[in-house]
Amino acid sequence: MRSIMKTGLSVLAMAALVPAAVTAHEVRGTHTGTVSATTYYPSSGKFHGAVDIASGGTCNYWGAETGVVGSVSWNVTIRTTGVVCYGSGSGNQNEAKHVWASGWTFRQWHFIKTSDSYDRTCDRCQVGNIGGTGNVTGPHSHLQQDKLGTNDTSWYAGYTVQGEGVSRAETIGYLD
């Protein structure tokens, strides 16, 4: 009897150490394109810490959608209002961001302002057109998760790689 109780208590104690299920948010392609950079820039080898999806040179094309699946509140900041395809300088990128309760921030940069560029809660909504605002060499979407200056690369590890073609339906990672 004592052995059975001990075993039962030990199983309960181990179960208490197993973390509760975490709700992960799926991230999908923001538009059809090619993953042009992930953890490191391909040309320089310098740290990048995000996923870039290039549009193949197509600029101002309809539909830079938010990447996160599920109802999420987006704060949209517009710094450039013209049609910018090949850069407007560092710090001048348009941004849609969501701040999680954990303090991590998911950001999407470089889209062109449209009538869809406003703050709201949505599931995969359009925030603008494919663009190249900010410090870029061409139109693309930049997807990044960061906290206090540290970029998290684990959300896309094992889901997408540089050179891969993606569509809006393609899973490129999961945010915890």
For 122-175, how does the pLDDT look when each residue is reduced to its tens digit (9 = 90+)? 999 999 999 999 999 899 999 999 999 999 999 999 999 999 999 999 999 999
Average of per-residue pLDDT across 49-57: 95
Q: Strand, coil or helix: what is 161? A: coil
Domain ranges of the chain: 23-175
65 has a pLDDT exceeding 80:
yes
The predicted pLDDT at position 54 comes to 96
Q: How confident is the model at residue 10 (pLDDT cuts 50, 70, 90)?
A: very low
pTM for the full predicted model:
0.85
Distances (CA, A) of 71 to 46, 51, 68, 138, 147: 34, 21, 8, 30, 21
Return the CATH number of 23-175, one of 3.50.50.60, 2.30.110.10, 2.60.40.10, 2.70.70.10.
2.70.70.10
- Provide φ and ψ at 44, rounded to 5°: -105, -20
For 71-104, how does the pLDDT look when each residue is reduced to its tens digit (9 = 90+)? 999 999 999 999 999 999 988 999 999 999 999 9
Q: How confident is the model at residue 12 (pLDDT cuts 50, 70, 90)?
A: very low
- For the purposes of burial, counting CB atoms within 10 Å of the CB of 175, is it exposed (0-12), middle (13-18) or buried (19 or more)? buried
Higher pLDDT, 10 or 104: 104
Higher pLDDT, 5 or 119: 119
Distance separating alpha carbons of residues 124 and 22, to the nearest angstrom? 21
